[in-house]
Amino acid sequence: MSMEKARKYLEAKGYGDRIIVPEASTATVELAAAALGAEPGAIAKTLSFLMGGGAILILTEGTARIDNHKFKQVFHTKAKMIPGDQVETLVGHAPGGVCPFGANPEVPVYLDVSLKKHPVVYPAAGDDHSGVRLTVEELESLVGMDRWVDVCKE
């Protein structure tokens, strides 16, 4: 179901042909990098955080780690990941396939500046056996925003 939501979203925007469905799992950065033939940093991991009773998504480069101090400076609250059993309800995608494509419409999406190191990135496409090959500019356009943040450690 989650993959179908992401596929419909990407097809409506003209990017359906960019979806890659490898046989191997893409559930973690390491698995995704191996399955998609990319370096781990080029995997655009989507992190989900609780924010005021709802959710936000932040896409970072695959090897990045959240800097709690920077997060609090930007969002004025402590970084709190969504518990695994609540992710699908709050975001619209299950863990392992969380992505901004077809997520619940009330969920804001942010892109971390760490992504800008890579000309091409690979976010998930709604499940743990998928990826989408996109330039950073295409990703920015697809998520319909210019909300860049700097919340990762150097």
Angle at 40 between CA 38 and CA 45, to 5 degrees: 105
pTM metric for this prediction: 0.94
* Beta carbons of 89 and 55 less than 8 angstroms apart: no
DSSP string for 110-134: EEEGGGGG-SEEEE--SSTT-EE-E
Render each residue's pLDDT in the chain as its tens digit; 154 residues. 678 999 999 999 999 999 999 999 999 999 999 999 999 999 999 999 999 889 999 999 999 999 999 999 999 999 999 999 999 999 999 888 899 999 999 999 999 999 999 999 999 999 999 999 999 999 999 987 668 999 999 8
pLDDT at 1: 61
**Domains of the chain by start residue, with CATH:** 2-149 (3.90.960.10)
The rounded distance, in Å, linking the Cα atoms of 73 and 101 is 27
